[in-house]
Amino acid sequence: MSSSPWSLISKPPPITLLHHQRPPLPTVRVRAATSKTTTAMPDHHPSLEIIGGGAERFLPALDTRHLPYKPFPIICWNRHLETICAAFFRAVPDVKYRRECLRTKDNGTIALDWVCGDHRRLPPDSPIVILLPGLTGGSQDSYVKHMLVKAKSKGWRVVVFNSRGCANSPVTTPQLQTASFTADTCHVVDHVSSMFPEASVYGVGWSLGGNILVNYLGREYHRCSLSGAVSLCNPFNLVIADENLRKGFNNIYDRALRGGLSATFSKHVSLFEDVNDEYNVQAGLNPRTVREYDEAITRVSLGYKSVDEYYSNSCSCHVVQHVRIPLLCIQAANDPIAPIEATPYEDIKENPNCMLIVTQQGGHLGWVAGDEAPFGAPWTDNVAMDFLEHLQNGASKPEAA
């Protein structure tokens, strides 16, 4: 195989400029910033941009064996190719689940998928990580299973939080997955914490799941019982993300996402008929865009007057400043679905509990790099687990923000 194109591996250039509109950063690429001072740090990882009020505390968590970011050749030359290859060609680990359904105060149903056998194999004080998949995603997705396998190999207990209607979960009310409904997240975290009172509980969310997770951390900071969290490829600002999703080639993703939304809705359409005259059932069954679906169904279920009001009030970028537990955010500068310009750089810099890692490449849910590329686990899995184990070992405690 020495003559194959895979042998043409070259070192990625340093990130000297990220192509998005935001205030220019100092030339030092790895740094920690607080509201009072900016501390320069050794530039050990030139392929990454690392900032945040908590960077000085959390940077030791990053194992240098997993850094810097070296994108896999050929596949990673284009953000769309990396995104699509990761979605369709990444291996899917074999994982067996035990499903638990929770009933909520509004008579809704949440499906939790636990790894089979963990209740017998692991002691009650084993750390727990709750995984929150993206829009229409669930416990069946490859990126979820890879992270699950990584955490499981470290002796962690893992549970997948499937949002309403996702992963074939039962739907008992006219309420499906939304970006801003944090009550379900509160219910899941409280339930898991009460089941294992001796264990520390953490959260990891991807894409819309990352937005839901950060919304929970910021809005419920006064009652949040998580010990730490990781947000990956979070759209952060749904107004910007919505506009971006309807541009050029991104229409391909819009088409795939709206197809998943309408397919889920069609299974439960009877719950929405005759409940509220505002629901546009036909548009929900055959939406032309994700935006049209959200206008017809999602914003109505939440009581918003328009889809723009729903998007504006569901942006997790607005609540990052309120996060009170350690939070690692990982974004790709070339993400076609979670545009980098939506990332709240300044609030992350000012919050002593936050750190942001930006890779130049990665696509959306891609990050085809590292020892397991191109078909194995994404590069982010090792980084996320390094961070979580750093917290579990008591190396970093939350600070007042």
> Domain boundary at 314, 335, 356, which?
314
> What one-character DSSP code corresponds to residue 202?
E
Confirm whether 398 is domain-assigned.
yes
207 part of the active site = yes
Confirm whether 3 is domain-assigned.
no
- Per-residue pLDDT of 6-64, as tens digits, reads 222 233 333 333 333 343 333 234 433 333 333 334 444 678 999 999 999 999 888 87
> Which H or E element spans position 40?
strand 38-40
- Per-residue pLDDT of 92-141, as tens digits, reads 999 999 999 999 999 999 999 999 999 999 999 999 999 999 999 999 99
Of the listed 335, 347, 381, 386, which one is catalytic? 335
Q: Are residues 229 and 333 in the same domain?
A: yes
Of the listed 169, 364, 386, 396, which one is catalytic? 364
Return phi, psi of residue 350, to 5°: -85, -15
Cα 53 to Cα 26, 315, 320, 353, 394: the distances in Å are: 15, 21, 12, 6, 19
Of the listed 126, 200, 207, 396, which one is catalytic? 207
Q: Which residues contact 229 (CB under 8 A, 6 or more apart)?
A: 202, 203, 204, 205, 213, 214, 217, 325, 326, 327, 328
> What one-character DSSP code corresponds to residue 155?
T
Q: Are residues 160 and 113 in contact, defined by beta-carbon separation less than 8 angstroms?
A: yes
Q: Which residues contact 185 (CB under 8 A, 6 or more apart)?
A: 132, 161, 212, 213, 215, 216, 220
- Domain of 325, in residue numbers: 23-237+318-401
Give pLDDT, residue 15. Answer: 32
Confirm whether 2 is domain-assigned.
no
- Rounded Cα distance between 171 and 269, Å, is 10
Beta strands in 245-395 (DSSP E): 327-332, 354-359
Give pLDDT, residue 192. Answer: 98
Give pLDDT, residue 123. Answer: 97
Give pLDDT, residue 34. Answer: 36
Q: How confident is the model at residue 149 (pLDDT cuts 50, 70, 90)?
A: very high
Residue with tokens 């509160």: 186
Q: Are residues 338 and 327 in the same domain?
A: yes
Alpha helices in 113-178 (DSSP H): 118-121, 142-153
335 part of the active site = yes
- Rounded Cα distance between 401 and 391, Å, is 18
pTM across the whole model: 0.88
Lowest-pLDDT choice from 22-31, 162-171, 198-207, 335-344: 22-31
Confirm whether 150 is domain-assigned.
yes
Confirm whether 4 is domain-assigned.
no
- Rounded Cα distance between 60 and 355, Å, is 12
- Per-residue pLDDT of 223-270, as tens digits, reads 999 999 999 999 999 999 999 999 999 999 999 999 999 999 999 999
Residue 222 has pLDDT above 50, yes or no: yes
Q: Are residues 121 and 260 in the same domain?
A: no
Environment class of residue 83 by beta-carbon count within 10 Å: exposed (0-12), middle (13-18) or buried (19+)?
A: buried
Give pLDDT, residue 396. Answer: 52
Q: Are residues 317 and 241 in contact, defined by beta-carbon separation less than 8 angstroms?
A: no
The pLDDT mean for the chain works out to 88
Give pLDDT, residue 9. Answer: 29
